[in-house]
Amino acid sequence: MRRAKALAGLAFLVGGMLVMLAPAHAQTGYPPGVCTAVTGTQDVGAVTVGQRFVLQLAPTCLFTPGAAITVTVNGVNIPGKVAEPGGFVLVDVTVVSATQLSIDDPVLTPAICGVNTATARGPSSTAQGGISTQTANFTLNCPLASAQVAQPVQGRLSLTGSNSVQLALAALALVTAGSIAVLLTRRRRNVA
């Protein structure tokens, strides 16, 4: 009888902990809530002449997939940009020289030795006000007058990170349940 009560208590405890984890998971469901971080900035790092890289402009309040996005690089409009299914937009940048960038291969824009800026603005079904904006800054390291030969360097995408809170909570629940099971088993042995 004692064993059945201990197992029932353990099952109740584990079930209760799993129920506590459920609301955190349910918050990511549909319909999406109102997102208030409608603007964001990311720093891509340093680039050099001859380098080609792809910017992934992914705002916190993601763009509506398939929507037309207004993209500008150093003030020049880049036509034909559409949000990807993941809610972000990709911008392919090639540093042609210290004074010129090629965006998505057909569009030429001015380059700046120092900080260059790419901005994406467009509709977002989750953003408060329905519009989201993301800016990416990258620093162009210009060659010295004596070193005019540029070495191409592999580009890199922005990292968006991950959220492991739910996994940590599940692990904590399992450790707690195991500890309680050990304590109940030890207590029963001492009583008998």
User: Do residues 185 and 3 lie in contact, with contact meaning Cβ atoms separated by under 8 Å?
Assistant: no
Q: Are residues 132 and 171 in the same domain?
A: no
Q: Are residues 57 and 103 in the same domain?
A: yes
Residue 114: left if φ>0, alpha if ψ -120 to 50, beta else—which one? left
Number of domains present in the structure of the chain: 2
Show pLDDT as tens, one digit a residue, over the chain (192 residues).
666 665 556 555 555 555 455 444 444 445 555 888 889 999 999 999 999 999 999 999 999 999 999 999 999 999 999 999 999 999 999 999 999 999 988 899 999 999 999 999 999 998 888 999 999 999 999 877 534 444 555 555 555 556 677 778 888 889 998 888 888 887 655 555
Amino acid 186: pLDDT: 75
What's the pTM?
0.57
Dump the DSSP string for 135-181: EEEEEEEPPPTT-------B--PPP-----HHHHHHHHHHHHHHHHH
Q: Are residues 95 and 178 in the same domain?
A: no
Amino acid 184: pLDDT: 81
User: Domain limits at 189?
Assistant: 162-192
Q: Are residues 104 and 181 in the same domain?
A: no
Beta strands in the chain (DSSP E): 39-48, 52-57, 70-73, 76-78, 89-97, 100-103, 107-110, 114-123, 131-141
Tell me which DSSP letter residue 68 carries: B
